[in-house]
Amino acid sequence: MIGRVNSATALAAVLIACVAAVLTVVTWLDVREARQETFRAMEARGVVLAASVAEIIADPLYRGDVDRIRDMADVARQQGGLKMLQVVAADGRLLVEPTDTGPAVGSVDEEFVIVSLRDRSRTIVREGNSLHVVEPVLAGSQLLGAVHLTYGNASLSRIISELTTRTILTGTGLALVSFAAALIVARVITAPVRNLNSTAQTLASGRLDARVKPQGPKEFRELGQTFNEMASQLQESHIELTEASKAKTRFFSSVTHELKSPLTAIASFTNMLAKDPDGNLDEKQAQFVEVIRRNNAQMQVLISELLDAGRLETGTMGLVMETIDLSETIGEVVETMLPFAASRQQQIVYTASNSPLNIRADRTRMNQVITNLVSNALKYSDDGAKVEIRTHATDTTAYVTVEDTGSGIDPDDLKKLFLPFHRSPRVASSGVEGTGLGLYITNQLVKLQGGHISVKSDLGVGSVFSVGLPVTD
């Protein structure tokens, strides 16, 4: 909208400039026409005067009557425009130059006077703002000489140039003023819209308390008020939603928490039952107990992951940050995971570095992070596969990478990998157990400890997860 107003304004200014240009051209043409008109008038007067003077000179009665010629020239000058009157002899000698004081001397050298004498014909020549009329003086067939009149109009040329300059200045001034005025109008009109736009952007960035200052014409002020009302409603519903979401999380956490104790009780009693020291269970009963034990274990994992997700959401994941040896933590994880790996003939390869790899982290949560990555690597690889854990460090960061040769991750899934509850549809339908919370929690925990996580994966080839954490001395 603002762009369009600006374009419209620019167009209007260009149109006005065009009009000014046309006006300038028209005025200039008028001035030119007036100049032609003046020349035509001078020409008419000049022809009459030159003919009269020529007649007097040719008249045997007045021949050579210089005073008379001067009188005529004076009269003509009063009519305007006559600058000079010369009488030239047939051989080009200057006989009289009545506008000058002092005696006339020398001879003429203007080409048109010589031509006029030679051809015995009248010549009219324009030179700038001067007009020359040369009239041959004939007594019968005898050429006596010629009368040369020069008309000029210094004030005319001044007026013309002044008029032209003034027209051009007025035109340019008009164009500039109209352009500036159009720009100011455009800015005044678009100011409330720009204000509205920037406030809307602030709102969109999450600052829901942003409001516009109603300004500009009535319609814009009303629009501003409506916008503010809308923003207030948005803010209120956001507060309500946040409250509702917090209440939901609280409820969710307390239910999850309540489920934890009975599940722990079921787990310990099932474990006791499974051991069956007195041999009371027959084969089928032992199988049932094992099914109960496995399902209960799954529920426990789910509950603890839900509790962690709740803590992360409410920002109540209390971390105890201390300096720990990353190699040691990896060693503990490998030890715990080896039985799981062995159950599917899988291998975990980890060569611990000789020197400690000290990082600042929460010991338990760091263990959880590596456990999640290793357990995924084993879970999403075939029986007999190998999972490799490596570490390396730069001056500032210690890295642990977990590499598998498993199913790999679809590029579409890679984008959603760290979202809660996301599981690749292929994996979900394959019957491999999981909640889709592991990587969400892992990513959040790494971030909370000042680190970052990255993943490279090729479908059908395998995946490499890499976690970087700040080192300490």
Ligand X SMILES: Nc1ncnc2c1ncn2[C@@H]1O[C@H](COP(=O)(O)OP(=O)(O)O)[C@@H](O)[C@H]1O
CB of 311: closest distance to Mg ion in angstroms?
18
Site membership for ligand X, residue 249 (CB under 6 A):
no
Query: Cβ 216 to Mg ion, closest distance in Å?
Result: 57
Asked whether position 301 contacts ligand X by CB under 6 A, the answer is: no
Q: How far is the CB of 383 from ligand X (least distance, A)?
A: 15
Report the residue number, 34 or 427, with the smaller CB distance to ligand X: 427
- Nearest-angstrom CA–CA distance, 43 and 318: 109
406 near Mg ion, rule: CB under 5 A: no
Q: Which is nearer to Mg ion, 45 or 423 (CB)?
A: 423
Return the HEC string of 229-273.
Answer: HHHHHHHHHHHHHHHHHHHHHHHHHHHHHHHHHHHHHHHHHHHHH
> Which among Mg ion, ligand X, none contacts residue 407 (Cβ within 5 to 8 A by kind)?
ligand X
Q: Least CB distance from residue 466 to ligand X, whole Å?
A: 12
* DSSP β-bridge partners for residue 300: none
* Nearest-angstrom CA–CA distance, 142 and 25: 51
- 438 touching ligand X, by CB under 6 A: yes
CB of 434 to ligand X, least distance (A): 3
| 38 touching ligand X, by CB under 6 A | no
Burial of 119 (0-12, 13-18, 19+ CB in 10 A): exposed
Q: Of the candidates 81, 389, 404, 451, which one interacts with ligand X according to CB under 6 A?
A: 404
Q: Is 399 in the site for ligand X (CB under 6 A)?
A: no
446-465 mask for ligand X (x: CB under 6 A)?
-----------------x--
* Residue 136 interacting with Mg ion (CB under 5 A): no
β pairing state of 142-152 and 82-89: antiparallel
Contact 292, 281 (CB under 8 A): no
Q: Which member of 424, 451, 468, 471 binds ligand X (CB under 6 A)?
A: 424
Place of tokens 């007594």: 139
User: What is the distance between the alpha carbons of residues 188 and 339, in angstroms, rounded to a whole number?
Assistant: 76
Find the DSSP H helices in 279-356: 283-314, 326-343
DSSP state of 109: -
- Does the protein bind Mg ion through residue 376 (CB under 5 A)? yes
> Contact residues for Mg ion (CB under 5 A)?
376, 438
